[in-house]
Amino acid sequence: MTAIDQRLDAAPSAPAGKAPAAAGPALATTPDDMAMLRAAVDLTRDLATARPGIYWPDFLASALVGYAAMALAMLASQGWVVALAGLISALALYRATSFIHELTHIRAGALPGFRFTWNLLIGIPLLFPSFLYEGVHTQHHAKTRYGTIDDPEYLPLALMKPWSLPLFILVAALAPVAFIVRFGVLAPLSLVVPPLRRFIVERYSALSINPDYRRRAPEGDFARMWAWQEAGTSLWSMALIASVPLLGWRPLLTYLAILSVAMVANQLRTLVAHLWENEGETMTVTGQFLDSVNVPPPAPLAALWAPVGLRYHALHHLLPSMPYHALGEAHRRIAQHLGAGSTYDRANYPGMVPLVVRIARSTMVAR
């Protein structure tokens, strides 16, 4: 039974044929559109199986292209080759990194070895081990947490000051340096300074955007997974720092620049993944959906800035366990069944730029 199935009978429904309101504080009290929620479940039951034959080649090819292009960017002498190779590397590694989102949602046993391989090839080398995301992202999907102060991945960006958006992007641009400091300096020190350890676990062990979020110390099997991932990333970070006297600055700076571009791309994608119009209230499922964003075809660049199914973020909030390769077909079925003007249709947008403009304009409204 899906999360939607469990809530269908308990949620208030919107009048037939009438789409709930989709802006501002009204989102929190938007009645659930039962026809849409039921259609999302009924029309996609046969799509819910993750296919290893798609996951593995996609992930491995993205990693191979990303690292090959990074090596070229480090070794090339012509500026345009460096820039082009760096861009290709950033986009390919961004795609490979985006599989971290799948790790948090795929069913246990669906892809044996995928989590370990992803961490070995991407998570540790790119300072992005999956423990930073696992156990955190699922809280964003909890019905009673989404959009509230307890949601690690939510800020009412559309209701904040105009300077908050540039700062939001700047944080991502500087993140690679911060990760090296976190893993290569602070993590080793925290082994002998317990208060520092508690501080790092609470404040710097989650890929969250909510500055008030505090993470609990891990337990059991997850604590063991956390330990080896953090140890590996710490050793890699210290090796990066030690590489400068041996190899000079260029390899490290090229590596950091490529990571920075990839993280800025992800932050821009995050910026337009939601409308960010909730002020901390608990929301209905439909309210959460309408505060989220789909950018379906024909938007030509969405596959680059929102890879691995992330262009269907609103649909993902309806069907969080749906594998990324099935989201396009799920979207087609639901959109065709419900039609233009439906609640489902109202979460679809043409591209990134109109969404950025909408959010930016909202920040400029006096409150």
Instruction: Return the pLDDT at 25.
Output: 53
- 3-state DSSP assignment of residue 84: helix
Check whether 10 has a pLDDT greater than 90. no
Q: Phi and psi dihedrals of 179, rounded to 5?
A: -65, -40
- Mean per-residue pLDDT for 250-267? 98
The closest alpha carbon to 43, from 284, 295, 319, belongs to 319
- The secondary structure of the chain in percent helix, strand, coil, rounded to multiples of 5, reads 60, 0, 35
Which residues fall within 8 angstroms of residue 221, CB to CB, at 6 or more apart?
Answer: none
- Residue 152 CA to residue 142 CA, distance in Å, equals 11
Cβ(144)–Cβ(198) below 8 Å: no
pLDDT of residue 336: 97
* 182 close to 233: Cβ distance less than 8 angstroms: no
* Summary mean pLDDT of the chain: 92
Confidence of residue 15 (pLDDT cuts 50, 70, 90): very low
Mean pLDDT of 265-290: 95
Return the SS3 of 212.
Answer: coil
Please give the pLDDT value at position 366. 52
Residue 13 CB neighbour total at 10 angstroms: 14
Question: In the predicted model, is pLDDT for residue 24 greater than 60?
Answer: no
CB-CB contact of 167 with 287 (8 Å): no
DSSP 307: T
pLDDT tier at 26 (50, 70, 90 boundaries)? confident
Q: Is 220 left (phi over 0), alpha (psi -120 to 50) or beta?
A: left
Rounded Cα distance between 168 and 267, Å, is 8
Tell me what the mean pLDDT of segment 190-203 comes to: 96
Average pLDDT value for residue range 114-141: 96
Q: Residue 367 — very low, low, confident or very high, per pLDDT cuts 50/70/90? A: low
Q: What single string gives the DSSP state of each residue in 144-179?
A: TTTTSTT-TT---GGGS-TTHHHHHHHHHHHHHHHH
pLDDT at 67: 98
Distance separating alpha carbons of residues 326 and 158, to the nearest angstrom: 31
Domain boundaries, the chain: 3-363
